[in-house]
Amino acid sequence: GESVGLHLPTLSVQEGDNSIINCAYSNSASDYFIWYKQESGKGPQFIIDIRSNMDKRQGQRVTVLLNKTVKHLSLQIAATQPGDSAVYFCAENRDANTGNQFYFGTGTSLTVIP
């Protein structure tokens, strides 16, 4: 399943399928990006990050892709599990040298259907 970021804030996928969550960022000067997972009643939890000098980074079952040309970020989750159900936020850091402000997207709610 695939979301279209702000225009489709919910995504439902079957357990075992791959998920793709998209995020459009606004500032071409942003140089550091983080994906967070937030479960109900909890604070955001770090999933994976990527710097602007990269276009792809892989973690355990997750991959982040960065397309600076169109200012687009995506999170791919392989073999989605029920425990992956949560709201996912992308966050951009507009100047990693100062690193003071992170700007969060609206979020995408992922529901995994067993």
Residues contributing to the site for another protein (CB under 8 A): 31-32, 34, 36, 41-46, 49, 51, 89, 91, 93, 96-107
82 contact partners, CB below 8 Å, separation of at least 6: 15, 112, 114
CB of 38 to another protein, least distance (A): 9
Closer residue to another protein (CB): 18 or 48? 48
Closer residue to another protein (CB): 15 or 103? 103
Give the pairing type, strands 10-14 and 108-113. Answer: parallel
Closer residue to another protein (CB): 100 or 114? 100
How far CA 23 is from CA of 41, 46, 107, 112, 114, in Å, comes to 23, 16, 8, 19, 26
CB of 17 to another protein, least distance (A): 25
How far apart, in whole angstroms, are the C-alpha atoms of residue 11 and residue 9?
7
CB of 69 to another protein, least distance (A): 20
Closer residue to another protein (CB): 84 or 89? 89
110 close to 21: Cβ distance less than 8 angstroms: yes
CB of 102 to another protein, least distance (A): 7
